[in-house]
Each structure stands twice: as structure tokens, then as C-alpha cells.
Copies of this chain bind each other. A is one copy, B any other.
Amino acid sequence: MRTRPLKVALLGCGVVGSEVARIMTTHADDLAARIGAPVELAGVAVRRPDKVREGIDPALVTTDATALVKRGDLDIVVEVIGGIEPARTLITTAFEHGASVVSANKALLAQDGAALHAAAGEHGKDLYYEAAVAGAIPLIRPLRESLAGDKVNRVLGIVNGTTNFILDKMDTTGAGYQEALDEATALGYAEADPTADVEGFDAAAKAAILAGIAFHTRVRLDDVYREGMSEVTAADFASAKEMGCTIKLLAICERAEDGASVTARVHPAMIPLSHPLASVRGAYNAVFVESDASGQLMFYGPGAGGAPTASAVLGDLVAVGRNRITGTTGPGESAYAALTVSSMGEVVTRYHISLDVADKPGVLAQVATVFAEHGVSIDTVRQQGKDGEASLVVVTHRASDAALGGTVEALRKLDTVRGVASIMRVEGE
């Protein structure tokens, strides 16, 4: 074993960073044996230097993150600050000054992954980020390495624990959205401002990262269609149950059937209860990966939390540490396929549509005609009358999102259609 230690700087010492520091100390011997050299915590950049941090030498703590990454003697910078700036500048500065980087920053990777990878490549350094997607669940490495000899066709997953907790609560207790959100907030699963989770921004960042790796194609955050789950109602869950389904907020990255283009999207969807994702409870994450040769694989585990995320960070730390010692770097970005990233209109799936309609003869015929005119084939229709009002529940065969959009627009113009109560995609069949 090499005796000269690998010097590691930690940017951020919150929930994840403090766990990384703790494990680096308590498991120092194991890490050294697995890397082939001891690791030394060389500095910790924080915003609040006065906070007592158990197990961390106060002499290592600094508020000057820039000076820390410019030291020039660092082997690895662990970035667990999150957000775009100053994280982005600190990471590129770290590369310029000779360090490799391990990051848990999904927002930054989704927005600027290509530029960061380019900076890492230019300086011959590693950029690892297993912790950026689905916490402790090994997902980046399996997609990037284990499936490197296969052709991935679809990634379908629950990648946000907060929204899964809320939807699971609505499903199992019949609670409404607000009630379930309040419980998630009280238990610490949701943040004070839950927007990033419930509106799907967090999941969309992860979808962009996963799609990029799965399809060897640059997928930007803007390429990801995003629809949150704050408008899912108890009535939607009742409809789902009638279909033998439940509702999950899914991140879906798909290769089109012709193989030449891909899509990435985040939205609530009905999935059959028999699908393994349907039984993912609470704040857990799970991701299905479908490939030509391997068939269907699933990866399941805690998608967030200090210790699980730290586990992923430290796995990367070991890999990057080994690379430093052997003087090599890992696979890096792979975007050679450069497939077209299509918009949501190109997505083909099934739909569950609830319409409020006038309760009189001929309505179904009118509605069915609109579907037919837009080339959307109907699988089943269910009519329910109540006091002069009626509801019509239509489940379609597979159709493009554009065709469905046109259908709905035309339906809204029918006199007999009082309103479109809900539109939900049906996935996982």
C-alpha cells in the first residue's frame, strides 16, 4: 500500500457531508485497504464555521471554499453543496488545480454535465456522481459500466422519495394531496418549500442524467418534459384502483421504436398493481432498466438521506482514489451516439381520460368520433350517469402525445363536454 495519503476536501458539511466525514474517519482502515492508500480529510468548506461538527478537527474548517479548491495539493474534491453556483465554479476550479471530483449535485449535472465532463477531460481528471441519482442505489455505475455491452431501451423509475411518500400515503389512506404533503413535511420527507419535489424538477434532473448515460447521448434538462404531481386527486386514485392500477410519479427515458431518437419525461402515471414499481412504498426509490440482452432489471433502495447518499459518495471516492493511484481515469462522458432528443409530442403511450359530459343520447358517439378523427384508438369506455350530469372514462390504446393533445383540444370544444376532469398516462404495461 502507498503510505502517502490521498488528500480529500469536502465542500459542504450538511446532512450528507457530515456523514461522509464521519465514515471517512470511522472506516479509515477499510477505505485505505480498498483504495490502496490512506485518505486524509484535508479541508472542509462550510457556510457556518461556528457550528460544532463532531469528529471534525476545527482547524480543517474554512468558509473560503475557493481557496480550498485552489490549494493545488488535493487529490479529490467532494462537492455536496448542491445548486448551480458556487458549486459549478468550485468544481471547474478544482479540475484546474489538479483534483478529481465526486459530486452529489443532480441539478448541476443535469444542467451543465457536458461542460463539467469536458473540463474533467481537458485536465485528465475524474468526475463521478453516483450520489446524484437515487441516493445509495447503484445506478450510474451499472448503466455506465455493467450495461456497457448492451443496448438500453428504457429506464422507468421512481426517483423522488418525497413524492413517492405522498402518493403512497394518498393510495393507502385515501388522503388528499394537501393532507399527505402536510404529513410528509411533518416527518421531514418534504422540505418547507416542496416545489422542487412535487413539481417534478428534482426528478427531471435525474431523468436528464439517466437518459444521457443510458443512451450515450447528451440530454439537457430542457429536453425533459416535466409535469408535477400536486394536482393528483383522491378521485384519480379511485379511477386508478378501478383500472387495477396505482399512481406513481415516474421518470421515463425511452428509445423510440425506430431506435433513432429518445425522449425523457417526468409525470404522474397509472401503473398496474402487478408491476414491481407499484409496490415501492414510502420514500424508497426504484428504477427499472430494460435492455436488448439483459431484459428487465430493477434497482431498489433508499433514494435519499445522509447515510445512503454518503455511501454512494464514498463508493465513488474509492473508485476515484484507485484511479489517482494507478494514474488513470474512469469512463467519463459517453455521448457518441448523439441521438435526436424528441419532444413530448413524439412520446407514444396510453391514456386514461375522465370527461364530464351532458347526460343525453349521442354523447358517446360524438366523443368517439373526435378520438377517431385524431387517430387515437379507444380501448375501453365507461359511462356513469348522475342527475343529468354524466362522466365518461376513456382508456386509449397507444397513441402519440401530440395526437392525444389534439383530441383533448377538440373534445373541449364539444357542447356536450362540460369539462375534462383528468388526463393521466398509463405506463408499465
- Give residues of chain A (102-151) contacting chain B, Cβ–Cβ below 8 Å: 130, 135-138, 141-142, 145-151
Contacting residues, chain B, for A142 (C-beta < 8 A): 138, 141-142, 146
Given contacts A299-B300, A322-B331, 11 further A-B contacts (CB under 8 A): A19-B293, A23-B293, A27-B149, A136-B297, A149-B314, A149-B317, A276-B279, A294-B307, A294-B311, A297-B299, A298-B300
Residues of B with C-beta under 8 A to A94: none
Q: A307 near B319 (CB under 8 angstroms)?
A: no
Binding site for B on A (CB under 8 A): 19, 23, 27, 30-31, 33-34, 130, 135-138, 141-142, 145-151, 216, 276, 279, 291-302, 305, 307-308, 310-319, 322, 326-329, 331, 334, 336-337
Contact in complex: A294, B318 (CB < 8 Å): no
Q: How close is A22's CB to chain B, nearest CB, in angstroms? A: 9
Q: Contacts of A148 on B, CB cut-off 8 Å? A: 34, 314-315, 318-319
Distance, CA A315 to CA B152, complexed state (A): 12
For A31, A150, A301, A316, which residue has the most chain B Cβ atoms within 10 angstroms? A150
In the bound complex, do residue A311 and residue B291 qualify as a contact, i.e. CB atoms below 8 Å apart?
Answer: yes
CB-defined contacts of A141 to chain B, threshold 8 Å: 138, 141-142, 145-146
Max chain B CB contacts within 10 Å: which of A149, A150, A293, A312?
Answer: A149
- Establish whether residues B336 and A136, one from each chain, have CB atoms under 8 Å apart when the complex forms: no
Given the complex of chains A and B, what is the CA–CA distance between A294 and B310 in angstroms? 8
Task: Collect the chain B residues with CB atoms within 8 Å of residue A291's CB.
Answer: 136, 311
Are A295's CB and B300's CB within 8 A?
no
Q: Which of A297, A310, A336 has the most CB of B within 10 A?
A: A297
Q: How far is the CB of A159 from chain B (nearest CB, A)?
A: 15
When distances are taken between beta carbons in the complex, the residues of chain B under 8 Å from A299 are 297-300
| Complex CA–CA separation, A334 to B146 (angstroms) | 19
Q: Which residues from chain B contact A314 at a C-beta distance below 8 Å?
A: 148-150, 293
Instruction: Tell me the smallest distance from the CB of A291 to a CB of chain B, in Å.
Output: 6
From known contacts A142-B142, A147-B138, A300-B276, infer whether A293 and B319 are also in contact, taking CB-CB under 8 Å.
no
User: Smallest distance from the beta carbon of A349 to chain B beta carbons, Å?
Assistant: 24
Determine the chain B residues whose CB is within 8 A of the CB of A301 once the complex forms.
294-298
Question: What's the least CB distance linking A27 to chain B, in Å?
Answer: 7
Minimum CB distance partner of A102 in chain B: B149
A337 to chain B, nearest CB (A): 7
Task: Tell me how far the C-beta of A312 lies from the nearest C-beta in chain B, rounded to whole angstroms.
Answer: 7
Across the interface, A293 reaches (CB within 8 A) one of B34, B296, B311, B316, namely B311
Judge whether A315 and B34 touch: CB under 8 Å: no
Q: Which among A145, A299, A305 has the highest number of chain B CB atoms within 10 Å?
A: A145
Q: In the complex, what distance in Å separates the CA atom of A312 from the CA atom of B291?
A: 12
Can you list 9 A-B contacts with CB-CB less than 8 angstroms, sorted by A residue number? A19-B293, A33-B336, A141-B146, A149-B310, A293-B308, A293-B311, A297-B301, A299-B299, A328-B328
Give bound CA distance, A34 to B335, whole Å. 9
Q: How far is the CB of A42 from chain B (nearest CB, A)?
A: 17
What is the CB-to-nearest-CB distance from A31 to chain B, in angstroms, rounded to a whole number?
Answer: 6
A294 touching B337 in the complex, CB below 8 Å, given contacts A141-B146, A314-B149? no
